[in-house]
């Protein structure tokens, strides 16, 4: 059993998200978080950092059957997460966040809602009544932001899913159905969607599109026969795209630097991590090889100590601090989408993902002269 690898993953995740959560719990996130990098984005940075941290943390918070030190840590962070939701959504809190001004808050309200979807018992189901009420009001307030005709329509849909998970009766089925239907028409083949009508060669199929599409399609499969058939297609495509991501991990854990938002680092592999978490990997991928591939990526990024500043906050870049890689819409809070690679921590220790012996991933097999099974393209 690869307890040492699991511990390494957990330590890495907590190293990333703890400064955000501890500052927010004390209502000091706005005061202590570095806001000078692309400072014009400062008003949105706290919700970005919090929503994206919770996105990756949620499956571990929801996991059952943990023992010992990890169980104790989990209990601590479950309580911490609930307290942070309180501080983020209480209008009287010094760290009350912006959910409804400009455009960016819709994005990170959706990431926070995706965390609720991934941890319906330990997050959505564990909130005191006052916090529940404040959170629901904050989510509703984001509705006034109009989504772009791109991956953003999933943000509007995921906010409604968050309200649904909270048990709110006024969630809007039409926003959900619209996103599910439109993106089906933007499918380009072989597991990849356009971001809008056009294809973009970047990692947004993994940052946003496929993880949200998969969870929304599964959650709302009973909207009708149309959506039952759609869910099957979405699941097949997501599994295929996860395989594509695995192929992109080089023998040394590096990966292609392609397209927008590359400073989200190993968040680029969210869909591969989600496929492992939900046992959706294609037959040619063994869970252990995915674990080893993702571990190589995590180490490749985190071995550069300039990934963090002297106070433990993330810095922009892929390998260390490389601010020239960050687009104008990226601030320090944006970087916390990297937490999404850690989704398999929601699996029990006994799952093959953690328990099976180490295995080479595809590129290591190929470039060592080994034999490899490669899946054919899908429609």
Question: For residue 377, is pLDDT > 90?
Answer: no
Give CA–CA dist 49/302, Å, rounded.
Answer: 18
**DSSP-assigned letter for residue 376:** P
Q: Taking a C-beta distance cutoff of 8 angstroms, is the pair 203, 154 a contact?
A: no
Give CA–CA dist 241/285, Å, rounded.
Answer: 12
Per-residue pLDDT at 4: 87
Give me the torsion for CA of 12, 14, 18, 21, rounded to 10°. 130
With respect to residue 378, please indicate whether it lies within any of the assigned structural domains. no
248-261: per-residue pLDDT in tens?
Answer: 999 999 999 999 99
CA–CA distance from 237 to each of 16, 189, 196, 197, 240 (Å)?
A: 30, 8, 17, 17, 5
Q: Which helix (H) or strand (E) holds 298?
A: helix 287-302
Question: For residue 228, is pLDDT > 70?
Answer: yes
User: Domain range for residue 8?
Assistant: 4-368
Higher pLDDT, 15 or 36: 15
With vertex at residue 186, the alpha carbon angle to CA 182 and CA 187, rounded to the nearest 5 degrees, is 120
Both tokens of 308, joined, read: 């963090």
Question: For residue 2, is pLDDT > 60?
Answer: no
Residues 100-117, mean pLDDT to the nearest whole number = 96
Give CA–CA dist 191/173, Å, rounded.
Answer: 26
Percent over 90 (pLDDT), the chain = 94
Give CA–CA dist 95/31, Å, rounded.
Answer: 9
Q: Which helix (H) or strand (E) holds 142?
A: none
Question: For residue 1, is pLDDT > 50?
Answer: no
23-63: per-residue pLDDT in tens?
Answer: 999 999 999 999 989 999 999 999 999 999 999 999 999 99
CA–CA distance from 341 to each of 91, 117, 206, 346 (Å)?
A: 32, 17, 10, 11
Q: Taking a C-beta distance cutoff of 8 angstroms, is the pair 306, 265 a contact?
A: no
Residues 7-35, mean pLDDT to the nearest whole number = 97
Backbone angles phi, psi at 188, to 5 degrees: -105, -10
With respect to residue 375, please indicate whether it lies within any of the assigned structural domains. no
Lowest mean pLDDT among 39-43, 183-187, 293-297, 323-327: 39-43
Q: Taking a C-beta distance cutoff of 8 angstroms, is the pair 249, 363 a contact?
A: yes
Per-residue pLDDT at 372: 78
Per-residue pLDDT at 378: 67
Residues 194-209, mean pLDDT to the nearest whole number = 94
Candidates 56, 48, 114; CA nearest to 273 is 56
Task: Output the CA torsion sign for 289, 295, 297, 300.
Answer: negative
For 40, how many CA atoms within 13 A lie in the half-sphere containing its CB? 4
With respect to residue 374, please indicate whether it lies within any of the assigned structural domains. no
Give CA–CA dist 369/379, Å, rounded.
Answer: 30
Higher pLDDT, 4 or 314: 314
For 172, how many CA atoms within 13 A lie in the half-sphere containing its CB? 15
Candidates 210, 318, 217, 201; CA nearest to 271 is 210
**Mean per-residue pLDDT of the chain:** 96
Q: pLDDT tier at 289 (50, 70, 90 boundaries)?
A: very high
Candidates 15, 369, 376, 26; CA nearest to 190 is 376
Candidates 336, 243, 292; CA nearest to 6 is 292
Give CA–CA dist 184/378, Å, rounded.
Answer: 15
Q: pLDDT tier at 379 (50, 70, 90 boundaries)?
A: low
With respect to residue 203, please indicate whether it lies within any of the assigned structural domains. yes
Q: Taking a C-beta distance cutoff of 8 angstroms, is the pair 359, 286 a contact?
A: yes
Question: For residue 86, is pLDDT > 60?
Answer: yes
Where residue 316 sits, what CATH number does that domain have? 1.50.10
Number of domains in the chain: 1
């Amino acid at each position: 059993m690869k307890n040492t690898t699991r511990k390494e993953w957990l330590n890495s995740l907590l190293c990333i998200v703890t400064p955000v959560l501890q500052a927010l719990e004390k209502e000091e996130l706005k005061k202590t978080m570095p806001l000078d990098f692309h400072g014009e984005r400062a008003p949105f940075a706290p919700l970005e950092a919090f929503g994206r941290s919770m996105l990756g943390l949620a499956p571990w918070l929801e996991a059952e059957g943990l023992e010992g030190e990890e169980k104790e840590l989990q209990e601590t962070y479950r309580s911490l997460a609930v307290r942070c939701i309180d501080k983020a959504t209480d209008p009287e809190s010094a760290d009350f966040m912006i959910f409804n001004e400009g455009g960016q808050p819709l994005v990170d309200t959706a990431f926070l809602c995706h965390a609720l979807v991934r941890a319906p018992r330990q997050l959505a189901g564990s909130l005191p009544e006052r916090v529940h009420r404040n959170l629901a009001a904050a989510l509703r307030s984001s509705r006034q932001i109009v989504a772009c005709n791109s991956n953003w329509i999933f943000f509007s849909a995921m906010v409604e899913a968050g309200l649904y998970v909270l048990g709110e009766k006024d969630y809007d089925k039409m926003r959900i159905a619209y996103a599910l239907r439109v993106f089906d028409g933007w499918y380009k083949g072989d597991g990849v969607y356009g971001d809008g009508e056009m294809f973009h060669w970047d990692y947004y199929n993994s940052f946003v599109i496929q993880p949200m599409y998969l969870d929304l399609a599964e959650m709302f499969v009973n909207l009708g026969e149309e959506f039952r058939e759609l869910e099957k297609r979405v699941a097949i495509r997501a599994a295929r795209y996860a395989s594509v991501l695995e192929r992109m991990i080089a023998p040394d854990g590096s990966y292609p630097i392609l397209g927008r938002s590359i400073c989200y680092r190993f968040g680029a592999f969210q869909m591969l991590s989600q496929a492992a978490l939900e046992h959706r990997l294609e037959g040619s991928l063994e869970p252990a090889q995915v674990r080893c591939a993702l571990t190589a990526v995590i180490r490749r990024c985190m071995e550069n100590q300039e990934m963090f500043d002297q106070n433990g906050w993330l810095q922009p870049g892929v390998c260390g601090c490389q601010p020239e890689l960050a687009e104008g819409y990226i601030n320090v809070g944006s970087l916390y989408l990297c937490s999404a690679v850690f989704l398999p921590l929601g699996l029990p220790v006994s799952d093959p993902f953690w328990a099976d012996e180490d295995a080479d991933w595809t590129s290591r097999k190929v470039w060592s002269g080994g034999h490899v099974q490669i899946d054919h393209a899908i429609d």
